[in-house]
Every structure is written in C-alpha cells, then in structure tokens.
C-alpha cells in the first residue's frame, strides 16, 4: 500500500504572480526615478565665515613696528636710481670700527628683541607652522645708527624679513670706535607654548 503525498499538487499560477509582482516593482522604481530627477536639488547652505578672533593681548602696546613706506604717497618725488656703477653699496663699505659684544647684546636684548619677536608672531597668525633661524647682518654707522640690514636664515619668510629690516633700521647703538661696524645677530624663531 502506497500512500499519496500530503502536499497539494503544484499550482501553475505562481510563476505568473511572481512575474506580475516583478513588473510592478520595475514600474514603481521607474516612476520614482522619473519624479526624483524632476525635482530641483535642495539648496546647499553656505557657511558664514567665522569672525576673526581678536588680536592677541600678548603684544605690549609700547612695541612699535614702523609701517611699510607707501609708494607714491606723501607728495615726495621718486628718487632716480643711481646710474654710476662706481657707487659703493653698504655691503661694500670698509668697516673697521669696533663695538664691544656686550654693548651690542645690551641693545638687542631690549626693545629690538621684542620688535623682532613681534614681526615673527604677527606672521605666525597666518602660518602657525612657521619657525626657523634668522641671522641679521647689521652695518652700524659711525654715529651708532643702523645704515644697512640684510636678513637670511632657515625661517625664509619674506614678510618677516621685511618687517625685521624696517625695525632694525630704527635701532640705535653706542658710537663705534674707529668708524662703522658690521655684526651678525642670530635669532631662533619658534612659537611660544
């Protein structure tokens, strides 16, 4: 005796039903894509620039940095460039005077050192990774005023160098013995922690 299976006989309508459901899904997806592509994209919200933070209060108000001279203003006529190649440049001056290192250090350790630091820290606001060494070559005239300045070093930042040149020309040293003096002054520029 064999018994029949308890499963119902297979229905032939199931493949048709699956095909209808699949077609309905395809049509619904197509309609969704059609409607979604017709809508304008949402506007991108633009971020307002953050206001610049107030200047650091660490700069002492008594530290003055001379402003860069404005070209063509003030009514002064431009000075013609020298035409004679025989003119002596400050770098070619014969400086055989002398000034004690302690005298130079005492001047540099005061206001000039603060001015150089201020030039560096102003630029540090724009480039917070800026650091390196800087060497000033000063030519100090017979009167004690700075007659020529050149700046070089691994700091290699033209804005800091220009600022340091401006402030260095305002420094006043004791009168050297025997005429002008040339001296090199090193600075190590690193951010304060």
Burial class (CB in 10 A: 0-12, 13-18, 19+), 60: exposed
Tokens for 181? 């003096």
What does the pLDDT profile of the chain (193 residues) look like in tens digits?
A: 556 667 666 656 577 777 788 888 888 887 777 776 665 555 656 656 656 555 544 444 455 666 666 554 444 444 444 444 444 455 566 788 999 999 999 999 989 999 999 999 999 999 999 999 999 999 999 999 999 999 999 998 999 999 999 999 999 999 999 999 999 999 999 988 7
Domains of the chain, residue spans: 101-189
- Sign of the C-alpha dihedral computed for residues 152, 155, 160 and 163 taken in this order: negative
Q: Which of 79, 74, 153 is nearest to 116 (CA)?
A: 153
Strand locations in the chain (E): 132-140, 146-152, 181-189
Question: What is the fold, at CATH topology level, of the domain defined by 101-189?
Answer: TolA/TonB C-terminal domain (3.30.2420)
Contact criterion met (CB below 8 Å) for 189 and 123 = no
Burial class (CB in 10 A: 0-12, 13-18, 19+), 131: middle
Rounded to an integer, what distance in angstroms lies between the CA atom of residue 161 and that of residue 65? 13
Kindly report the pTM of this predicted structure. Answer: 0.55
Order the strands of the 181-189 sheet from edge to edge.
Answer: 146-152, 132-140, 181-189
Phi and psi of 133, rounded to 5°?
-105, 160
């Amino acid at each position: 005796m064999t018994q029949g299976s308890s499963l119902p006989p297979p229905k032939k309508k199931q493949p048709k039903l699956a095909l209808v459901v699949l077609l309905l899904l395809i049509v619904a997806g197509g309609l969704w894509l059609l409607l979604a592509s017709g809508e304008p994209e949402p506007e991108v919200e633009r971020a307002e620039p953050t206001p610049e933070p107030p200047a650091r209060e660490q700069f002492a108000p008594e530290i003055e940095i001379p402003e860069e001279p404005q070209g063509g203003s003030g009514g002064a006529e431009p000075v013609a460039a020298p035409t004679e190649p025989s003119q002596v440049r400050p770098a070619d001056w014969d400086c055989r005077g002398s000034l004690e290192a302690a005298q130079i250090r005492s001047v540099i350790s005061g206001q000039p050192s603060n001015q150089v630091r201020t030039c560096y820290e102003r630029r540090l606001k724009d480039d917070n990774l800026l650091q390196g060494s800087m060497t000033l070559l000063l030519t100090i005239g017979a009167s004690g005023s700075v007659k020529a300045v050149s700046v070089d070093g691994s700091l290699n930042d033209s804005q800091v160098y220009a600022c340091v040149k401006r402030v260095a020309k305002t420094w006043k040293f004791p009168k050297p013995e025997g005429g002008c003096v040339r001296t090199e002054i090193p600075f190590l520029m690193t951010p304060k922690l």
